[in-house]
């Protein structure tokens, strides 16, 4: 009789920077939580991102410097930077620290944040953009050849990532969003869909699901999402 084993990976959450007035106080808290998370066996730690918080990439580097194996799970919002810039940071962290960075792809949940940045794209279309954005990042990190892509929102032409990323450090990807568009985006990217928990009585009847992130090239699939 064959038995199947599943692996449970734990991720903690980084303290929110908007709850601290003094920078040094916040750094001490980040260091403490990161080290505690590593000591109890967490795989990674989520760093939040919105208009009211410190830059999650800079906070992530602090975590990399304060720990030895803990992996940052960085909230990535497409409106904040070009996908090449995000891929470059991931490649740089891998080169400097030899560690995987996980990406929590978000479309922005606060209306005032989106209005302030003039991001007027409708909700479901933001997931169309998220698919393109994530796929460009992943293709830049995995392809040994220059990448060319043209979609609804992004276009790159024969661009190559330097330094060449370590194939063993390809980022794991999560997509935050419980809507139909968010879950579809996660499936198309090959990512783990992050959902709000349901009441226990609704979960009992559902079959157990094991979610494993496996990257599949998806640049050719973005047109399937074009009508959202």
Segment of 12-21, 27-36, 198-207 carrying the highest mean pLDDT: 27-36
User: What is the reported pTM?
Assistant: 0.83
Q: What does the pLDDT read at residue 4?
A: 56
Q: What does the pLDDT read at residue 104?
A: 96
Q: Are 195 and 125 in contact (CB under 8 A)?
A: no
| CA gap 169, 191 in Å, rounded | 16
Q: Which residue has the higher pLDDT, 16 or 227?
A: 16
Return the structure tokens found at 53.
């918080």
pLDDT in tens, 136-173: 999 999 999 999 999 999 999 999 999 889 999 999 99
| CA gap 4, 219 in Å, rounded | 33
* Count of Cβ atoms closer than 10 Å to residue 113 Cβ: 15
Q: What does the pLDDT read at residue 219?
A: 47
Q: What are phi and psi of 31, to 5 degrees?
A: -60, -45
Q: What does the pLDDT read at residue 5?
A: 59
Q: Which residue has the higher pLDDT, 178 or 32?
A: 32
Confidence of residue 18 (pLDDT cuts 50, 70, 90): confident
Q: What does the pLDDT read at residue 7?
A: 77
Q: Are 95 and 141 in contact (CB under 8 A)?
A: no
| CA gap 212, 1 in Å, rounded | 24
| CA gap 108, 28 in Å, rounded | 28
DSSP class per residue in 156-197 = EEEE--SSPPPGGGPPPEEEE--SHHHHHHHHHHT-EEE-PP
pLDDT at 186 over 80: yes
What is the residue-averaged pLDDT of the chain?
Answer: 85
- Calculate the alpha carbon distances from 149 to 2, 62, 137, 190 in Å: 44, 33, 11, 19
| CA gap 17, 52 in Å, rounded | 8
pLDDT at 35 over 90: yes
Confidence of residue 6 (pLDDT cuts 50, 70, 90): low
Confidence of residue 44 (pLDDT cuts 50, 70, 90): very high
| CA gap 187, 127 in Å, rounded | 12
């Amino acid at each position: 009789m064959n038995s199947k084993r599943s692996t449970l990976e734990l991720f903690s959450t980084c303290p929110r920077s908007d709850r601290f007035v003094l920078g040094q106080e916040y750094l001490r808290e980040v260091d403490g939580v990161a080290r505690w998370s590593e000591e109890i066996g967490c795989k990674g730690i989520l760093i939040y991102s919105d208009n009211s918080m410190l830059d999650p990439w800079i906070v992530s580097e602090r975590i990399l410097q304060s720990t030895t194996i803990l992996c940052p799970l960085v909230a990535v919002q497409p409106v904040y930077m070009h996908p090449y810039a995000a891929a470059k940071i991931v490649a740089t962290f891998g080169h400097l620290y030899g560690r995987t960075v996980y990406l929590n792809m978000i479309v922005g949940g606060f209306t005032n944040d989106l209005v302030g940045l003039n991001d007027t794209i409708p909700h479901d279309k933001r997931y169309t953009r998220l698919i393109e954005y994530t796929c460009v990042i992943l293709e830049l990190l995995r392809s040994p050849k220059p990448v060319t892509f043209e979609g609804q929102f992004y276009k790159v032409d024969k661009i190559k990532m330097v330094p060449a990323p370590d194939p063993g450090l390809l980022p794991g990807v999560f997509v935050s969003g419980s809507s139909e568009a968010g879950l579809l985006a996660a499936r198309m990217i090959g990512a783990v869909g992050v959902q709000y928990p349901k009441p226990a009585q609704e979960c009992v009847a559902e079959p157990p699901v094991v979610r494993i992130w496996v990257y599949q090239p998806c640049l050719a699939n973005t047109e399937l999402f074009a009508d959202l």
